[in-house]
Each structure stands twice: as structure tokens, then as C-alpha cells.
Structure 1
Amino acid sequence: MKANIGTIDRSLRIAAGLVLIALSLSGVIGLWGWIGLVPLATGIFRFCPVYTLLGIRTCKRC
């Protein structure tokens, strides 16, 4: 798994994932908020399988 997510993309994914999980825990959006685990995990590991399939790379030095 070679990194394919850049710094800004990574920050946005982690922030979005945490917000969705927090909203789910507070009961605002229900169980659908747990979908936030996907952007959170891809941001933490700096790898997105969909980017690999589409040939996208936001990491400049990777």
C-alpha cells in the first residue's frame, strides 16, 4: 500500500470522519454517521483504494 493521499486531503478526511462519528454518537444523524470510519481510516493510513483504481494521487512526493 503506497501512500496516495496528500496532506490537505488527509486533513479533510480525518476531520470529516471525526465529525460524522461525533454526530452519530450524539444522536443527531443516527447510525449512518459511522460511515465516517471510512474517511477516518483512509486519512490515517494515507491510502485510498478508490484512488488507486481511478489512478488519482494527491500526494505530490509519493
Structure 2
Amino acid sequence: MFKTNVGGIDRILRIVAGLALIALTLTGMIGVWGWIGVVPLATGLMSSCPLYSIVGLNTCPMKS
């Protein structure tokens, strides 16, 4: 369904950043804008980023 274009380190960083923003929002340390963390979390979990597709980026290693 989605083309995989998010590689290993990129994926881990997206998931960690997304979870951190959501956690900070839930604890009240930052405002509601922290819910934007859902975007990197979702793209990290799906290993696909629509913006990467638009600009032609791919951080996945090539398959042999």
C-alpha cells in the first residue's frame, strides 16, 4: 500500500521524537501543538513518508 522510503535510523528517530512530543503534551509540559508528534510517529511506524515521496528522498538501503 505504502512505498517504504524511511530507513532504520530515520525510522527510530521519528518514533522516539513522536513519542517524546506526545508524552510531553500528556504531562502538560508543552501545549497542544505537541500532538504534532503523531505525524513522525505514524510515518516511523509505517516506514513511509509522503513528503519524502513528493521530493524524491529515500533513506532505505537498496535491496540487492
TM above 0.5, yes or no, is yes
Aligned to 2:19: 18
Q: Counterpart in 2 of 1:28?
A: 29
The number of equivalent residue pairs is 62
Structure in which a larger fraction of residues adopt helix? 1
Deviation, structure 1 residue 46: 0.3
Q: How does 1:40-51 map to 2 (within 5 A)?
A: 40-51=41-52
| Runs of 4+ displaced beyond 3 Å | none
CA displacement 1:38-62 (0-9 Å, x = unmatched) = 0000000000000000000000135
**Which whole-Å CA distance do the structure 1 matches of 2:23 and 2:37 have between them?**
9
Tell me by how many angstroms 1:2 deviates.
1.1
